[in-house]
Structure 1
Amino acid sequence: MQRLLFALIISIAGVAVLVSLGNWQVRRLAEKEAILAEITARITQPPISLPANPDPVKDKYRSVVVDGVMLPGEIHVLVSLKKVGAGYRVIAPFKTKDGRRILIDRGFIAPEDKATDRALGAMQVAGNLHWPIEIDSYTPDPDRAGNIWFARDVAMLAEALKTDPILIIAKTDADSGVTPLPVDTTGIPNDHLQYAVTWYGLALVWALMSIYFLWRTRAKARGKNS
């Protein structure tokens, strides 16, 4: 009887833990969907002028528009696109009408276009403010001689191009040879529904196994007592 009671307690505890983990993932799903909705609203809102002191948290993904001059001296960040392959993001310095120097992520170019001259001079750029976090302990240092960078670190890019640490991801580009890569939410993981289904599935399996184990244990006990 004590063995049966112990097994029952373990069974109930196991199901309770797994269900609670599933419930937690459901709550996280709701939170993530709210965050994604807020990001989408920022991305798609009508553009505003570049704030005087944009905040990396409050103004991340903010839709903005700037007028000024695209300057020479671009940096190439190695990337890979699905169904396209390897290439480079073009990060260029841009001088606004009020004299501020900022960074523009113009978009994607193929490897063979690395040495091609791109449109410079007066233009308007519409896009979204962004401070991507792409560097970790495994990221190689930039190959400055070959102008090949392996991540977008706004502070490092700004230092290299002598600009303010402000990056705008362009929605369009004046150069037809550049394919813009506008900001969207597709790269932000949202796997909480899958995790919730997994935990609930494990809870169901645990419950079924526990029922079977308890039934077998009770059947054996009855067999010994008969």
Structure 2
Amino acid sequence: MARMIWPLVFGIGGAAILVALGVWQVQRLAWKEAVLADIDARIMAAPMAIPDQPDSQADRYLPVEAEGVIGDTFIRVLVSQRRIGAGYRVISPFETGGRVVLLDRGFIPVAEDLPAAPEGRVTVIGNLHWPDEVTGATPVPDLEENIWFARDVPALAEALGTAPILIIARNVSETEGVLTPLPVDTSGIPNDHLSYAITWFSLALIWLGMTLYLLWRIRQRMI
């Protein structure tokens, strides 16, 4: 029996650690779901005017309504849409009465020609955002083809001569043909805690199974 004590202790201890990690991921899942619900509620709240000095953290996802003129210049950011394929997010300057900000006008497939910006003043309802899309693997912009690979707000603002404030359009009072708004939502925020929890609990079961098999082998040798 003494030969079975340490494998038993090791097996139970290892399984307990794995179960604890699974429980922790379940707790993280509840926390993340609450965070996402809060963001969803914030995104769909009543829009307000753009703050004088918006903060990239405190005002992230803030719903805003602004009236102004969309500039003729633009930058295309390469993206992909499910069931549609490759296309571009179109970013243009948006003059809102003394201040020019960035406007994410929406998505256009690569095969389509970009229509001219609406003439005159338009009303835009959308959300402020500072996307965190730049990684070490992000290619540098192709300035000759006017194609970027991430929405780097400070760099976009410098290139288009605007304030580093980005409105992602949810609705524009003047339709823009093939351009389709891609509003802010929480679908891009990772929430893998359930799969992590299942992984840890599965490993705990495998660990226990291996422990029982090892104990059975030891017992067979003792007989």
State the TM bucket, normalised to the shorter chain: over 0.9
Q: 1:136 Cα deviation (Å)?
A: 1.1
In the alignment, the residues of structure 1 paired with residue 69 and residue 53 of structure 2 have an alpha-carbon distance, to the nearest angstrom, of 20
Work out whether 1:57 is the aligned partner of 2:72: no
Q: 1:218 Cα deviation (Å)?
A: 2.2
Work out whether 1:31 is the aligned partner of 2:27: no
Q: Which residue type is aligned with residue 101 of structure 1?
A: V
In the alignment, the residues of structure 1 paired with residue 73 and residue 35 of structure 2 have an alpha-carbon distance, to the nearest angstrom, of 36
In the alignment, the residues of structure 2 paired with residue 96 and residue 128 of structure 1 have an alpha-carbon distance, to the nearest angstrom, of 15
Deviations 1:127-167 (A, max 9, x none): 01110011111111111121111111000000001111000
Asked whether the equivalents of residues 72 and 120 of structure 1 are also in contact (C-alpha less than 8 Å), the reply is no
Work out whether 1:210 is the aligned partner of 2:188: no
Secondary structure (helix, strand or coil) at the match of 2:73 reads coil
Q: Assess, with a 3 A threshold, how the Cα gap between structure 1 residues 116 and 124 changes in structure 2: closer, same or farther.
A: closer
In the alignment, the residues of structure 2 paired with residue 148 and residue 154 of structure 1 have an alpha-carbon distance, to the nearest angstrom, of 15
Aligned length: 221
Q: Which residue type is aligned with residue 205 of structure 1?
A: I
Q: 1:75 Cα deviation (Å)?
A: 0.7
Q: Assess, with a 3 A threshold, how the Cα gap between structure 1 residues 120 and 144 changes in structure 2: closer, same or farther.
A: farther
In structure 1, the gaps of 5 or more residues are none
Q: 1:3 Cα deviation (Å)?
A: 2.6
Q: Could you say which residue in structure 1 is the equivalent of 2:125?
A: 126
In the alignment, the residues of structure 1 paired with residue 27 and residue 165 of structure 2 have an alpha-carbon distance, to the nearest angstrom, of 34
- Residue pairs, 1:121-200, within 5 angstroms: 121-173=120-172, 174=174, 175-200=176-201
Secondary structure (helix, strand or coil) at the match of 2:95 reads strand
Q: Which residue type is aligned with residue 140 of structure 1?
A: P
In the alignment, the residues of structure 2 paired with residue 18 and residue 25 of structure 1 have an alpha-carbon distance, to the nearest angstrom, of 11
| Range with greater deviation from structure 2 (54-63 or 118-127) | 118-127
In structure 2, the gaps of 5 or more residues are none
In the alignment, the residues of structure 1 paired with residue 79 and residue 66 of structure 2 have an alpha-carbon distance, to the nearest angstrom, of 26
Deviations 1:73-118 (A, max 9, x none): 1111111111101111100100113x11100000011223345423
In the alignment, the residues of structure 2 paired with residue 17 and residue 184 of structure 1 have an alpha-carbon distance, to the nearest angstrom, of 36
Q: Could you say which residue in structure 2 is the equivalent of 1:17?
A: 17
Q: Which residue type is aligned with residue 180 of structure 1?
A: P
Secondary structure (helix, strand or coil) at the match of 2:148 reads coil
Q: What is the TM-score when the length of structure 2 is the normalising length? A: 0.94
Asked whether the equivalents of residues 71 and 117 of structure 2 are also in contact (C-alpha less than 8 Å), the reply is no
In the alignment, the residues of structure 2 paired with residue 125 and residue 119 of structure 1 have an alpha-carbon distance, to the nearest angstrom, of 12
In the alignment, the residues of structure 1 paired with residue 45 and residue 14 of structure 2 have an alpha-carbon distance, to the nearest angstrom, of 47
In the alignment, the residues of structure 2 paired with residue 73 and residue 132 of structure 1 have an alpha-carbon distance, to the nearest angstrom, of 21
In the alignment, the residues of structure 2 paired with residue 209 and residue 88 of structure 1 have an alpha-carbon distance, to the nearest angstrom, of 52
Q: Assess, with a 3 A threshold, how the Cα gap between structure 1 residues 168 and 30 changes in structure 2: closer, same or farther.
A: same
**Greater Rg by CA:** 1
Q: Could you say which residue in structure 2 is the equivalent of 1:81?
A: 81
Asked whether the equivalents of residues 71 and 121 of structure 1 are also in contact (C-alpha less than 8 Å), the reply is no
Q: 1:213 Cα deviation (Å)?
A: 1.9
In the alignment, the residues of structure 2 paired with residue 68 and residue 56 of structure 1 have an alpha-carbon distance, to the nearest angstrom, of 22
* Aligned Cα root-mean-square deviation (Å): 1.3
Q: 1:53 Cα deviation (Å)?
A: 1.0
Asked whether the equivalents of residues 70 and 93 of structure 1 are also in contact (C-alpha less than 8 Å), the reply is yes
- Residue pairs, 1:65-76, within 5 angstroms: 65-76=65-76
> Percentage identity across aligned positions?
53
Q: Could you say which residue in structure 2 is the equivalent of 1:46?
A: 46
